[in-house]
């Protein structure tokens, strides 16, 4: 069943018309890591999330494993405005108008706002990824139908019920409302949920190493068969913390043997303790690697994860006071991220608010030793003072925090970005706004293929393909110089075509204009795309 709403016809393909904007780093507002550098994979972007999401596509299309968003609930009390510039009388009348509770078109406006953003989020999501959306009774039914249409009803995973507060809620008309929803969809059937490891005897795994629950077992064999002569191949040296070779010793004091072969041991699986003046190596058995542990699925009712009171207390702990209403507790976001993103994957939040998602990702990394990255987008003016500032503080440490990890600092770093001038065709043709060679190459590649490439992988020499995939070589003849672009040097000439054909069997060429028919170029294995009007190939 298709969801119909006012204005849908005009915003159906609106995401395709949104221009790409370069991301401009602001290092003064960024957070430096322990190595003194900035993490260009952890991003906080200040700007309209519609434009930011479109601008992320050239590099991140299909790369985001987990998306969490907390959009306006459309209660009529949030003061949000419809800000998308859509060329229709309906949307022009809505533009910059605050959406109040008595607005008879507030559901239509909310759906028109969400539609293009969800389409772009789907493009950014990896085939094995999933998206979570926080919502309440006001729009949950509309959201569900919207997600069915955009993601496909076959990709629905769960509607999680989160108990957001205990008690209160007496402002509700009939029943005290204590819960909200978190709607979860996958990108495709390739998605696999990350199951939790639970010990059959949880009391065994009381230790923690590398952020993982574990237990320690003596590495030297004891009891019968503990002598070197019993298993000579298990008598070999291990370097102790002082740098000396350490050999196993039997309980009797004679030469002993280890319980494990050397190839099964590494630094992560050995723990050293000093006992009676002698180093003792212990085997580290991790809960998530233990054959005695079992994998269990998460449940769809989050009754005791954390509450909005916990979220407010987190803000007070970090800032000294509550900065924003209706933020989510980091424990809740950690729980969601853990279901999808393993230790080295990317998490995106395009309604970043107080920065809880980045806090959750960094805390999760601190706990399990992971290297998850985050991208936050916030359009409001508090993107620096609240969103990014929270992340700066949790990275470096909050001296008065009660939580020891938060007091010490969660580590990590990020780069703060703003959105530059859009890559606008009319401005480019007038020379008013000309992107760099690298930015143009990344943009043209994505426009032509729908795929993302790392800007760092772009060859900017102009003397060879700027990028090669398994099937084609991609060439760009361009300079950010209007006079050069207008001149004959920018023309894709027969001479250049012959050079490309010598180096590439199957080439896609971007240039401002050409003097040869495509039929002639096709015989040379060349597909020509005019910039800035590159077409999909």
**Residue 6 domain-assigned (yes or no):** no
Phi, psi angle pair for 78, to nearest 5°: -95, -15
Helix 308-319 vs helix 389-396: crossing angle, to nearest 10:
70
Specify the higher pLDDT residue, 447 or 115.
115
104 part of a folded domain: no
Q: Is 404 found in the same domain as 333?
A: yes
* Greatest mean pLDDT range, 22-26, 114-118, 194-198: 114-118
State how far the Cα of 50 lies from the Cα of 380, in Å rounded to an integer. Answer: 13
Give dist(CA 314, CA 323) in Å, integer: 10
pLDDT average, residue stretch 260-278: 83
Peptide bond into 497 cis (omega under 30): no
Q: Of the ranges 31-45, 55-69, 116-130, 201-215, which one carries the lowest mean pLDDT score?
A: 201-215
Q: Where is pLDDT greater, at 100 or 161?
A: 161
Check if the beta carbon of residue 451 is closer than 8 Å to that of residue 445.
yes
CA separation (Å) from 333 to 68, 178, 336?
8, 18, 5
pLDDT at 245 over 70: yes
Whole-number percent of the chain with pLDDT over 70: 94
- Based on the domain organization, do 263 and 364 belong to the same domain? no
Provide CB contacts within 8 A for 196, sequence distance 6+: 295, 296, 297, 298, 338
Instruction: Determine the Cα–Cα distance for residues 72 and 78; give it in Å rounded to an integer.
Output: 7
| Number of structural domains found in the chain | 3
Region for 259 from its dihedrals, namely left if φ exceeds 0, alpha if ψ lies in -120 to 50, beta otherwise: alpha
Q: Is 85 helix (H, G, I), strand (E, B) or coil?
A: coil
Query: Which range marks the domain in which residue 128 is found?
Result: 21-74+111-193+297-419
Stated as kind and residue range, the H or E segment containing 365 is helix 356-368
Question: What is the per-residue pLDDT for 71?
Answer: 96
Q: Give me the chain's average pLDDT, please.
A: 89
Instruction: Report CA Rg, the chain.
Output: 28
Residue 448 sits in the same domain as residue 369:
no
DSSP at 530? E
| 95 DSSP assignment | T
Looking at residue 42, its pLDDT comes to 94
Same domain, 223 and 210: yes
Note whether residue 70 is domain-resident. yes
Q: How far is CA 286 from the centre of its chain?
A: 27
* Mean pLDDT value of segment 309-317: 93
Tell me which of 289, 311, 326 is where a domain ends.
Answer: 289
Average pLDDT over residues 201-230: 82
The reported pLDDT for the residue numbered 169 is 63
pLDDT reading at 195 higher than 90: no
pLDDT score, position 176: 83
Query: Of 262, 289, 316, which marks where a domain is finished?
Result: 289
Is 370 found in the same domain as 285?
A: no
- Would 537 be classed as within a structural domain? no
Q: Are 60 and 375 in contact (CB under 8 A)?
A: yes
Mean of the pLDDT values across residues 259-288? 84
Same domain, 389 and 406: yes
User: End of a domain among 289, 314, 335?
Assistant: 289
153 and 222 both lie in a single domain: no
153 is a domain residue = yes
Asked if 235 and 137 sit in the same domain, the reply is no
pLDDT at 177 over 50: yes
Model pLDDT, residue 159? 97
The reported pTM is 0.77
Residues forming a β-bridge with 133: 69, 183
Q: Which residues contact 120 (CB under 8 A, 6 or more apart)?
A: 15, 18, 50, 53, 54, 57
15 in any annotated domain: no
Question: Does 175 lie in the same domain as 305?
Answer: yes
Task: Assess whether 388 and 446 both reside in one domain.
Answer: no
Dmax of the chain from CA atoms? 91
Query: Is 219 in the same domain as 348?
Result: no
Whole-number pLDDT of residue 536 = 46
> Cα(98)–Cα(467) distance, rounded to whole angstroms?
46
Cα 52 from chain centre: 14
> How confident is residue 167, by pLDDT bands cut at 50, 70 and 90?
confident
Domain presence at residue 518: yes
- Which two tokens mark 484? 């050069």
Confidence band of 12 (pLDDT split at 50, 70, 90) = very high
Determine, yes or no, domain membership for 12. no
Closest among 493, 499, 525 to 511, alpha carbons compared: 493
Write out the DSSP string of 9-45.
HHHTTHHHHSPP--EEEEEEEEE--TTS---TTSEEE
Q: Are 282 and 306 within one domain?
A: no
Calpha distance 81→70 (Å, rounded)? 16
> What pLDDT shows up at residue 368?
83
Question: What's the CATH code of the domain at 125?
Answer: 3.40.50.150
What pLDDT band is residue 365 in, cutting at 50, 70 and 90? Answer: very high
β-partners of residue 132 are 68, 184
Report d(CA 306, CA 164) in Å as an integer: 7
Report the pLDDT averaged over residues 134-156: 96
């Amino acid at each position: 069943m298709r969801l119909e709403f006012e204005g849908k016809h005009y915003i159906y393909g609106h995401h395709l018309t949104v221009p790409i904007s370069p991301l401009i780093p602001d290092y003064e507002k960024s957070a430096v890591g322990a190595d003194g550098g900035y993490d260009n994979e952890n991003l906080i972007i200040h700007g309209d999330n519609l434009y930011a999401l479109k601008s992320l596509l050239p590099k991140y299309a299909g790369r985001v494993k987990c998306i969490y968003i907390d959009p306006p609930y459309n209660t009529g009390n949030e003061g949000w405005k419809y800000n998308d510039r859509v060329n229709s009388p309906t949307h022009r009348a809505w533009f910059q108008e605050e959406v109040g509770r008595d607005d008879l078109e507030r559901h239509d406006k909310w759906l028109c706002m969400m539609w293009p953003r969800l389409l772009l989020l789907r493009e950014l999501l990896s085939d094995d990824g999933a998206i979570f959306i926080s919502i309440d009774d006001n729009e949950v039914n509309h959201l569900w139908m919207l997600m069915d249409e955009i993601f496909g009803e076959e990709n629905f995973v769960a509607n999680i019920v989160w108990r957001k507060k205990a008690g209160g809620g007496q402002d509700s008309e009939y029943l005290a409302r204590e819960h909200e929803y978190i709607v979860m969809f996958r990108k495709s059937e390739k998605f696999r949920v990350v199951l939790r490891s639970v010990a059959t005897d949880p009391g065994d795994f009381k230790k923690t190493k590398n952020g993982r629950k574990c237990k320690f077992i003596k590495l030297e064999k004891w009891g019968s068969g503990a002598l070197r002569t019993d298993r000579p191949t298990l008598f070999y040296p291990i370097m102790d913390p002082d740098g000396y070779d350490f050999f196993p010793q039997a309980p009797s004091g004679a030469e002993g043997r280890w319980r494990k072969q050397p190839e099964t041991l590494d630094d992560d699986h050995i723990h050293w303790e000093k006992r009676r003046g002698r180093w003792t190596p212990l085997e580290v058995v991790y809960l998530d690697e233990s054959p005695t542990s079992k994998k269990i699925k998460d449940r769809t009712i989050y009754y005791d994860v954390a509450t909005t009171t916990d979220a407010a207390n987190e803000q007070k702990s970090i800032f000294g006071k509550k900065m924003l209403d209706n933020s989510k507790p980091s424990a809740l976001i950690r729980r969601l991220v853990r279901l999808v993103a393993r230790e080295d994957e990317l998490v995106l939040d395009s309604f970043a608010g107080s920065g809880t998602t980045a806090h959750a990702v960094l805390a999760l990394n601190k706990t399990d030793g992971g290297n998850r990255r985050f991208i936050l987008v916030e359009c409001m003016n508090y993107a620096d003072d609240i969103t990014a500032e929270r992340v700066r503080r949790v990275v470096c440490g909050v001296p008065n925090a009660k939580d020891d990890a938060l007091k010490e600092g969660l580590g990590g770093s990020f780069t703060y970005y703003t959105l530059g001038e859009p890559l606008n065709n009319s401005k480019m043709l007038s020379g008013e706004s000309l992107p760099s060679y690298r930015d143009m190459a990344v943009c043209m590649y994505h426009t032509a293929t729908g795929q993302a490439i790392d800007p760092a992988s772009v060859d900017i020499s102009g003397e060879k393909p700027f990028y090669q995939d398994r099937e084609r070589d991609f060439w760009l003849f361009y300079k950010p110089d209007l006079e050069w672009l207008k001149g004959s040097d920018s023309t894709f000439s027969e001479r250049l075509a012959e050079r490309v054909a010598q180096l590439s069997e199957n080439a896609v060429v971007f240039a401002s204009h050409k003097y040869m028919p495509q039929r002639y170029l096709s015989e040379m294995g060349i597909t020509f795309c005019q910039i800035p009007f590159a077409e999909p190939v």
